[in-house]
Structure 1
Amino acid sequence: MSSEVVSQSAVAVNLEDLRKGNVDFSTLEEAFGPSSLGIIVVKGLPEKFVELRHKLLSYSSYLANLPAEELAALESPDSHYLVGWSCGKETLKSGIYDTLKGSYYVNPAPSFSDPSVQSSVAEKYPSFPEYTAPNVWPPTTLLPTFESTFRELCELIIDVAVLVARACDVYALEKVGGYEKGYLEHVVRTSVSTKARLLHYFPPPGSPTTTAAGKADPADDDDDWCATHLDHGCLTGLTSAMFVDEAANPPVLPPWSPATSPPLPLPELPSSPDPAAGLYIRSRTGAVTKVGIPRDCLGFQTGEALEVITRGKFKAVPHFVRGASSKGGKVARNTLAVFTQPNLWEKVDGEKDFAAFAREIVARNH
């Protein structure tokens, strides 16, 4: 059954106002409260953000177009394909494997790069390889500066997430009885369970007059791209999507040597060639709202852990993603999501730790 689709601008705040603590409660309620879209946009980011975003999202196309044997070497079966490259491992509602998008998963927390930290967490939680397995990185001879670009952009996003969390803490301290001062900021700042997902939506098959799944209405069925879901962490940092015409600009790497400079960033289309492509929020009334994130901004969505931590004051909102149709071209959609999640041992509701919380969600969703 089709739902009405509308477009709406998300609540926006300036990074400097977050730093100075100048974000009022009404703004947070409008962004994250019970009747909200569950997303806030942060503008006024450091100048380097735009360059880092362009470079990493270009890498997404280069990566996804590597030969199959190169991609297979970047997979991590032991982590259930939630580290490194993953494509065709998830099943859709229809029961078929999802081959329309590829993902590259990384734990970007700076402290997680310390082998002793990673091994310590893995020993403590041997049944959680999704969160504890070591990162897999392409060799620099294959994708020069991929790892350094990925890490630098994610660290910037986490730093901004810390400031959003700080604003939420100030609100919760006044509005939530018994709330621990600075708790959410502590969780976001210190977590070694953060997960980043670099996404590549492959240029879709199909006619140029329909969506990639062959449906003209994005509200009819979203499962063919990224099914309606709730994030289960605290705050999810999102870049705007980058659309690349891979026919006009083939993302094919020439032979590299260790001294070779990285591939040039790919030309970015000024906008999506398909107005139906993008991020959608599905409200509790069934209304479907398309939300855009400006290219020089970050979006932060609420997750289920944040809803529990704030005892429902801030709500996790169901959302899905619709990729671009072919529209006569070969257009890919690239984006990055950084899921700031509590450490596995952090208490989410005063009694249950995040490990138990995550297990419940996985059992519920699968």
Structure 2
Amino acid sequence: MAFGKEGVGIIGIRNVPGFVDAKRNLLSLSHSLAHLPQKELNDLEDPETLWNSGWSHGKEKLKNDTPDINKASYYYNPIIDVPGTEEERNKFPLSYPCNRWPKKESLPTFEQACKEFGSMMKTVAVELCSHIDTYAHSVNKSYPPQSLYETLANTEKVKGRLLYYYPLPGEDQKEASTPNATDDSWIGWHNDSGFLTCLSGGLWMEPNGTILPDPPSNIAGLYVVDRKDQVLQVKLPMDCMGIQIGECTQIITGGAVIATPHCCEDSNKVED
């Protein structure tokens, strides 16, 4: 089992109806989003939620407190534009951020593409929850059946993250050309804090936005640490969605399933 004692901590799911088209529709827009006029990108920022909604570039920090300018993120909720109650949003702005969408005239299909793909990924994650519940109950009889399924099936708190990686300058390319367990040049080693993280896999482009048929590097991508502390590269096929365990699921299952330590050279994900 992917999430069991001998698993690698990530499961691949294919044959999701419409997945490939929805993935391509959204990821192909990332270049256009990242190259909107700076004024429009500034309008998409949400500092009051610590950039948990809309555009974020250079706000995250790597080791040595260095701002990360090599990638940018766009955060959104694919389920609802205004989650929670007004009281909840005022009290917990980081937990209930409202969506900020680009102007329709700038990116007319962007909002629809985000909602379609994100909703699809959430639906798949919820279906997987039943299987995780069954496994967790078999390992820990005190675990209430269907706990994870019921929690995620009814939640409005879903976070999508579209990532765009800028072309690296020559020297940075050399430094990032070899993966290593302490590398922090892209997204350093970490566990996700949520319940489940759905991963779409990447779409590769030239600096001008032209889509490439194949990745230009055999090294860039997703790395995980399996249950035997081995670092493994995960190569998701174009038609395959990946799902990882987050720390919340590890906690509520009493450690029946364990959060997946991972490091990203290139990825796009949606979190539940």
| Cα distance in 1 between the residues matched to 2:88 and 2:263 | 31
- Confirm whether residue 133 of structure 1 aligns to residue 133 of structure 2: no
Cα deviation 1:224-262 (Å, max 9, x = unaligned): 10010000111110001110112xxx34xxxxxxxxxxx
Contact 1:108 1:154 in 2 (8 A): yes
Query: What is the identity, as a one-letter code, of the residue corresponding to 1:37?
Result: V
Seen in structure 2, the aligned counterparts of structure 1 residues 314 and 220 have a Cα distance that, compared at 3 Å, is closer
Task: Give the unaligned 5+ runs of structure 1.
Answer: 1-29, 252-266, 324-334, 341-366
Q: Which residue of 1 aligns with 2:196?
A: 235
Seen in structure 2, the aligned counterparts of structure 1 residues 176 and 193 have a Cα distance that, compared at 3 Å, is same
Query: What is the identity, as a one-letter code, of the residue corresponding to 2:3?
Result: F
Task: Give the unaligned 5+ runs of structure 2.
Answer: none
| Cα distance in 1 between the residues matched to 2:163 and 2:123 | 21
Contact 2:60 2:67 in 1 (8 A): yes
Give the length in aligned residue pairs: 272
- Confirm whether residue 300 of structure 1 aligns to residue 243 of structure 2: yes
Q: Which residue of 1 aligns with 2:58?
A: 88
**Larger radius of gyration between Structure 1 and Structure 2:** 1
| Offset, 1:132 | 1.0
Q: Which residue of 2 aligns with 1:11?
A: none
| Cα distance in 2 between the residues matched to 1:213 and 1:201 | 16
Secondary structure of the residue aligned to 1:129 is coil
Cα deviation 1:166-188 (Å, max 9, x = unaligned): 11112223322222221111111
- Confirm whether residue 182 of structure 1 aligns to residue 146 of structure 2: yes
Contact 1:228 1:318 in 2 (8 A): yes
Where do residues 106-121 of structure 1 align in structure 2 (5 Å cutoff)?
Answer: 106-109=76-79, 112-113=80-81, 115=82, 117-121=84-88
With the length of structure 2 as denominator, give the TM-score of the two structures.
0.93
Secondary structure of the residue aligned to 2:64 is coil
Secondary structure of the residue aligned to 2:126 is helix
Cα deviation 1:103-148 (Å, max 9, x = unaligned): 0001222xx33x473525314xx1x322212111111111102111
Secondary structure of the residue aligned to 1:274 is coil
Q: Which residue of 2 aligns with 1:42?
A: 13
Query: What is the identity, as a one-letter code, of the residue corresponding to 1:242?
Result: L
Seen in structure 2, the aligned counterparts of structure 1 residues 43 and 224 have a Cα distance that, compared at 3 Å, is same
Question: What is the RMSD of the two structures over their aligned residues, measured on CA atoms?
Answer: 1.8
Query: What is the identity, as a one-letter code, of the residue corresponding to 1:291?
Result: V
Cα deviation 1:307-366 (Å, max 9, x = unaligned): 11111111112100125xxxxxxxxxxx431111xxxxxxxxxxxxxxxxxxxxxxxxxx
- Confirm whether residue 165 of structure 1 aligns to residue 129 of structure 2: yes
